[in-house]
Amino acid sequence: MSEAAEKLRADKWLWQARFFKTRSLSAKLITGSHLRVNSDKVVKASATVKVGDVLTFPQGNHIRVIQIDGIGTRRGPAIEAQALYTDLSPPQPRDIGKPYAERGGRPSKADRKLGAQIKRGELE
């Protein structure tokens, strides 16, 4: 029984570690050949993962590289889930853009009216 507790299906582990909201979303990622376990592509959601494996998969706009530190018994709170892995991904640069203050702020209603009058040729 201890050997069975040391391994878990990849889709279930990704769901328990809270990388995906549902287990079917994690299974869809795996069946789409977007998961690598120790640099080997995985195409079946039933593939097993164990402690020490390194998972690589896309999430949002960046690639996640995760090392498995533990196999959970349930999908618990976020703090419990974060204890199951170590994030090996490099920090992603933030692309926030310029705030309104740096661009001169949002145009007021008067500014918009003035711009519309200039477009129409009413003002020169």
Residuewise pLDDT in 10s, the chain (124 residues):
455 568 999 999 999 999 999 999 999 999 999 999 999 999 999 999 999 999 999 988 889 999 999 998 999 999 999 999 999 988 776 555 555 455 567 777 877 788 788 888 877 6
pLDDT at 1 (0 to 100)? 44
Q: What's the domain range around 23? A: 2-94
Spatial contact of 86 and 98, defined as CB atoms under 8 Å apart: no
Residue 62 lies in a domain: yes
Whole-Å CA distances, 95 to 19, 59, 61: 22, 16, 11
pLDDT of residue 2: 53
In a domain, 113, yes or no: no
Q: Strands, E, within the chain: which ranges? A: 7-9, 35-37, 40-42, 48-50, 54-59, 62-68, 85-87
Q: pLDDT value at position 122?
A: 79
Per the CB < 8 A criterion, the answer to whether 64 and 57 are in contact is yes
- CA 88 from centroid of its chain's CA atoms: 14
In a domain, 70, yes or no: yes
Instruction: Tell me, yes or no, whether 105 lies in a domain.
Output: no
Is 116 part of a structural domain of the chain? Answer: no
d(CA 74, CA 80): 9
What pLDDT, on the 0 to 100 scale, is given for residue 96?
52
The per-residue pLDDT for 114 is 82
